[in-house]
Amino acid sequence: MADSIHSAKYLQIVNETEQGLRMREHVKLAAVAVDSQPGDVPGNLDKIREWAGKAADAGAALALFPELSLSGFIPNHPVGDHNQWLRAALQGARAMSETIPGPAVDRLAAIAGEYGILVSAGLLEDAGNVLHNTQVLVGPDGLLGKWRKMHIPMFETAFYNGGDGPSVVETPLGRLGANICFDAFLPESTRLLAVNNVEIVLFPFAADPPPVTPQGWQAWAEPVLRCRCLENGVFGLACNYVGRVGFADVEQSFPGGGMAIGPRGETLAEWTGLSGQPGMLLVEFSREELRMARAEPESLYRFRRPELYGPLAE
C-alpha cells in the first residue's frame, strides 16, 4: 500500500510539471548524511534505502546523499609505507568501482521507484582505463543524469581522473546540476551549470576540515556555497559524509552536516544533527523566490560580459 502511495505521488509530480520542465512551484528536498563504508556496496545501498524511505515519508521529492556514498570513501591520509598503501588502495578502488549504467545504479533506481522520489548518490565509476568520482541522479524510471568530479584535490589524484564539464538535467522538479565537493571551490564549476539554466545545484561533500564537527564543516563550506548560489542566482543543497571509514590500514573520520542556500546567497537551513552521526536536513525551495531573486536589480548573473572573458580560458 505504501509503495503505491509513493508511486502515485511521483506520477502526480510528473503530470503537474509544465511542458519545458521548469522548477515546480514548491520543491521539498532532503540532504542526508549516511555512514557508508568503503567496498560495502550492498550494505551502503541498504542504508540509502532506509534514509530514502525516511525522506519520502517526510514529504521530500528528492534525497541527496554525499560524495561516494554508494561505494564508500577510501581514506587517503596514510602514515606508514606509502607505496604499499597506494597499491592496496588502488586495487581496492578498482574492485569496488561500478559501471554506469550497471547493477548498483539499477538498485538505486529501484529504491527511487519504491518511494516515488529522486535519489542522488556518489560512487567510484569504472570508466574502463580510468576511474571517476561520479554523482548519479536516478528516478523511478532509471538513470536521469550523472556528474563526474572535475577538479581533483591532491590527496585524491591517485584514485580517479577529472571529468568533463557538467550537464543540466531536466527533471519533474526542475533543472538540476551537481558540483562534487572540491568543485564548489572553483567558481567556474557552478557557472558551467548556470549558463545552461540550472535552477537547483546539488553539492555532495566528503570533507573533514578541523574541527571535525558539522559546524566546522559548515564554517569551511558555507562562504563558498553562498558565493556560488549568489553569483549564479540558484538554489543549493549540500550534505557531507559521516562516520569513521577504514581501508588498506588507513582510517578517516567525517562529521556529517548539511545546509541549504537560496539564490540571494542566504542560508535557508542548517544542520541540527549530532556530530559523526547519520542524519537528515529538510528544506523547501520556492519557484517564486527564485523568480524574485533573479528579477532584483542586484541579481549578478545578468551583468555578465562573456565577450570580455576570453583571456580566462587562454
Q: Average pLDDT in the 79-84 region?
A: 88
Q: Is it the case that residue 66 has pLDDT exceeding 90?
A: yes
**Residue of 261, 242, 238 whose CA lies nearest to 253:** 242
pLDDT at 4 over 80: no
Under a CB-based contact definition with an 8 Å cutoff, are residues 24 and 14 in contact? Answer: no
More confident residue, 17 or 290: 290
Q: What is the pLDDT of residues 118-145, one digit of tens each?
A: 999 999 999 999 999 999 999 999 999 9
How far apart, in Å, are the Cα atoms of 195 and each of 133, 146, 168?
23, 18, 10
Whether the pLDDT of residue 242 is over 50: the answer is: yes
Rg (C-alpha) for the chain, rounded Å, is 19
Extract the C-alpha cell encoding 284.
Answer: 523547501
pLDDT tens sequence across 109-118? 999 999 999 9
Q: What share of the chain is helix, strand, coil (3-state, %, to 5)?
A: 35, 25, 35
pLDDT band at 45 (very low <50, low <70, confident <90, very high): very high
Q: What's the pLDDT score for residue 85?
A: 93
For 41-59, what is the mean pLDDT?
A: 98
Task: For residue range 255-308, list pLDDT tens digits in order.
Answer: 999 999 999 999 999 999 999 999 999 999 999 999 999 999 999 999 999 999
User: 13 pLDDT exceeds 50?
Assistant: no
* Residues ≥6 apart with Cβ < 8 Å to 196: 167, 168, 175, 177
Instruction: Give the mean pLDDT of the chain.
Output: 93
| Domains located in the chain, CATH noted | 2-313 (3.60.110.10)
- Percent pLDDT > 90 in the chain is 89
Dihedral angle sign, alpha carbons of residues 2, 6, 7, 9: positive
Give CA separation, 23 vs 17, 37, 95, 102, 174, in Å: 8, 34, 39, 29, 4
Query: Does pLDDT of 18 surpass 70?
Result: no
Question: Cα–Cα distance between 21 and 99 in angstroms, integer?
Answer: 29
Task: Give the model confidence (pLDDT) of 188-219 as tens digits.
Answer: 999 999 999 999 999 999 999 999 999 999 99
Question: 6 pLDDT exceeds 60?
Answer: no
